Amino acid sequence: MGEKVASENDINKGRRALISKIGVFGLVAAFFTWIGSTFRFLYPQVFYNPPSKVRFDLQSILGKTKGATIDESGILLVDDSYLLTNNFFIVVAIDKIYALSARCTHLGCTVNWVGSQRTFKCPCHGSQYTSIGKNFAGPAPKPLEVLKITKINRNIAEVDTKNRADLLDSKSGYALNI
């Protein structure tokens, strides 16, 4: 007959070798997972958050209003210099200056200033705000938030991005008289 029949002992040896290789692989995988977790613990994730208080030069902002036209809301200038770094706009009206958050009140997207139309527009769901931050189109439920602004000295003002209000209230420090 010439066929070689494997004995039961040979079959058991093959099974044992397979199970032992799987066990060794499992131990090696567990060891490297433990090592990876240890190194991840030693190097925690750190996120950069911009400072909550941002200072700006009042004179340079007011200098940009020279020759500006006043819109129907009484706004001379919307400055978007701090949009990318700190997520707010500086708005200069006829008699005051204030800071508006660039976060849409619908779902928190960043709104853009469209100077040719004198409106803020949200690219996510189409909310639109007037130049003073009042919502007039789209799903946004409230106006843009106003940030607390304080005058440090004659030339320097400071915006606190953590201190927000729903309505513009110059009595409580959310606008500077100019």
Residuewise pLDDT in 10s, the chain (178 residues) = 455 556 677 777 778 888 889 999 999 999 999 998 888 777 767 776 777 888 888 888 888 888 888 888 888 888 888 888 888 999 998 888 989 998 998 888 899 999 888 999 999 888 999 888 888 898 988 899 899 888 888 889 898 888 877 765 545 667 788 7
CATH of residue 166: 2.102.10.10
Range of the domain at 128: 53-177
Nearest to 120, CA basis, from 160, 76, 88, 164? 88
DSSP 8-state code for residue 55: E
Together in a domain, 38 and 112: no
Together in a domain, 33 and 69: no
Together in a domain, 170 and 94: yes
CB of 79 closer than 8 Å to CB of 90: yes
Total tally of structural domains belonging to the chain: 2
Together in a domain, 107 and 148: yes
Nearest to 142, CA basis, from 152, 151, 129, 153? 129
CB of 88 closer than 8 Å to CB of 96: no
Together in a domain, 40 and 78: no
Interatomic CA distance for residues 109 and 165, integer angstroms = 18
Together in a domain, 28 and 69: no
Together in a domain, 146 and 166: yes
Together in a domain, 25 and 113: no
Together in a domain, 91 and 108: yes
Together in a domain, 142 and 93: yes
Helix (H) or strand (E) holding 148: strand 146-151
Together in a domain, 36 and 114: no
Q: What is the pLDDT of residues 61-104, one digit of tens each?
A: 888 888 888 888 888 888 888 888 888 999 998 888 989 998 99
Together in a domain, 4 and 91: no
